Structure 1
Amino acid sequence: MKFAVITDIHGNAPALVAVLNEIDKRKDIKYIYCLGDMIAIGPDTNAVLELLFSRDDISMITGNHDEAVLATIKDEPHPLSHPHVKEHHEWIAEGIHEKFIDKLDELPRFIRKDISGQSVLFTHYHVESNKVDAHISEDPFAPIVEPSPGNMEALFGPQDVDLICFGHHHPVHFFIGDRTTYLNPGSLGCAEDSVARYAVVTIEVNDIQVELLEAEYDNTGFLMSYEALNVPTRDFILKAFHGDQLKGDE
């Protein structure tokens, strides 16, 4: 069984298109798992959700940004840990098409699958057992730790699972432990250059193979759209999540 893993699209439609085009051209990928944070940071909310929900070969889970935007829409508490993006989330909430709200709200926070005899957990990031059903305002997702084998084992703890696929932290993580393989393909939509990251996993009996891949695309129009659309906190976003690439072109 061969499947793709994508995560942290963050409202970047051209990056998502580039990755989906590569996946579709391969013809050998049976399914796609999308691990949350489909929206926010980038402005292409409706285009991204249309691309995802229009396909029947993608399963999605929610991330902290998706859940925070939903909380804003429903007039529920916003996470106290996200004050720097509250105005941005409100802007995203105002622009999202109503046809996507219920669909987002129905998505799970986790997916567990048995694939070709291997147990797989799909999650946006680690959630402690006492916060599995906690509202996003209670900050259910664990604090981010730096990528290393030891940190992954300490973060997720003992797990009776062969593969954990996750996102949230934007750099690539790929570590093979004594019991569990840990895979974060890296943010698809946020990078300091014009590439969109994803992974392809091949699972056979007693074997897991991972390809870490990047799709190149032209992100100039996407980056320029922040100013054109007057995206809140755009200066911070362009610097923190896209490496101020436009300034490098000046």
Structure 2
Amino acid sequence: MKLAIITDIHGNELALKSVLQEIDNRGDTEEIWCLGDMIAMGPDTNEVLDLLFARPDIRMITGNHDEAILSLIAGEGHPESYKHTREHHEWIAKRLSTDNFMKLKQLPRMIEEEINRTRIIGIHYHIALDKRNTHIKNDPFHSILEPTLENMENMFENYPAEIICFGHHHPEHLFQNSHQVYLNPGALGVSKGNTAPYAIIDFDERKPIVSILHAHYDKKTFLQKFDTLKVPQKEILFKLFYVANKA
């Protein structure tokens, strides 16, 4: 069996379509796990969710941005630590369809599975066991740590799995010790380059093989949507996530 891992699409329909097309063209991938933050940052809220929810081969969990926007819509507050993104989140919330709101709020925070005797977990980022049901306004997700093996072990070594897949921190992570693999394929929809990363885990061999791949997409057309749709906080989003700093 081959399993695809995608995460942090962040409202980028064109990047998502390119990745799904590559996965489909392989013809050997049975399932896709989508590890949260499907929306926000990019403008393609319903377009992304419509694509994901339409596919029976995709399993999804929520990320911090998904949950913060759901909380706004439900009138349950907004995390104080995300106050710098509130204007943008409110804009996204107004665009989220009722159907996608209902589907999004039914998603779990974690996927657990055993594939060919290998246990695998998908989570957006580490959440302490006693915070697994804590509301997003109370910041249950762990603060971001630099991508090192030691930091991954500190966060995830007590997870009951041989492979832990996650997102949230946008750079790629692929670390391994004697008993665990820590995989973050990188943010599919938020990059200063022109590619969208994703991972394939091949369980057909004696030991699972992990590959991080990149799909090219029309980033220029994607970025033009920010002007067309008058996306709030465009300048800071471009600076932080989409446009490489000039030397």
TM-score normalised according to structure 2 size: 0.97
Tell me the distance in 1 between the aligned counterparts of 2:64 and 2:181.
23
Q: Contact 2:193/2:244 (CA < 8 Å) preserved in 1?
A: no
Question: Which position in structure 2 is the counterpart of 1:59?
Answer: 59
Shift of 1:179: 1.5
Tell me the distance in 1 between the aligned counterparts of 2:173 and 2:4.
15
Q: Which runs of 5 or more structure 1 residues have no equivalent in the other structure?
A: none
| Paired letter, 2:227 | E
Tell me the distance in 1 between the aligned counterparts of 2:112 and 2:158.
16
Shift of 1:178: 2.0
| Paired letter, 2:61 | I
Tell me the distance in 1 between the aligned counterparts of 2:226 and 2:79.
24
Shift of 1:205: 6.7
Tell me the distance in 2 between the aligned counterparts of 1:153 and 1:168.
17
Shift of 1:97: 1.1
Q: Contact 1:118/1:206 (CA < 8 Å) preserved in 2?
A: no
Shift of 1:98: 1.1
Residue identity over aligned pairs, in percent, reads: 48
Shift of 1:177: 1.4
Aligned to 2:114, the other structure's residue is in SS state strand
Listed as ranges, the matches of 1:165-176 within 5 Å are 165-176=165-176
| Paired letter, 1:36 | G
| Paired letter, 2:119 | S
Tell me the distance in 2 between the aligned counterparts of 1:142 and 1:204.
33
Aligned to 2:32, the other structure's residue is in SS state strand
Question: Which position in structure 1 is the counterpart of 2:224?
Answer: 224
Listed as ranges, the matches of 1:1-250 within 5 Å are 1-204=1-204, 206-244=206-244
Q: Contact 1:61/1:108 (CA < 8 Å) preserved in 2?
A: yes
Moved more, 221-230 or 35-44: 221-230
Tell me the distance in 2 between the aligned counterparts of 1:210 and 1:58.
19
- Deviations 1:169-228 (Å, cap 9, x if unpaired)? 000000111211000000000011110000000124751101110001111111011122
Q: Contact 1:117/1:206 (CA < 8 Å) preserved in 2?
A: no
Tell me the distance in 2 between the aligned counterparts of 1:244 and 1:79.
29
Tell me the distance in 2 between the aligned counterparts of 1:243 and 1:151.
28
- Tell me how many residue pairs correspond in the alignment: 247
Structure 1 moving runs of 4+ over 6 Å:
none
Tell me the distance in 1 between the aligned counterparts of 2:96 and 2:244.
26
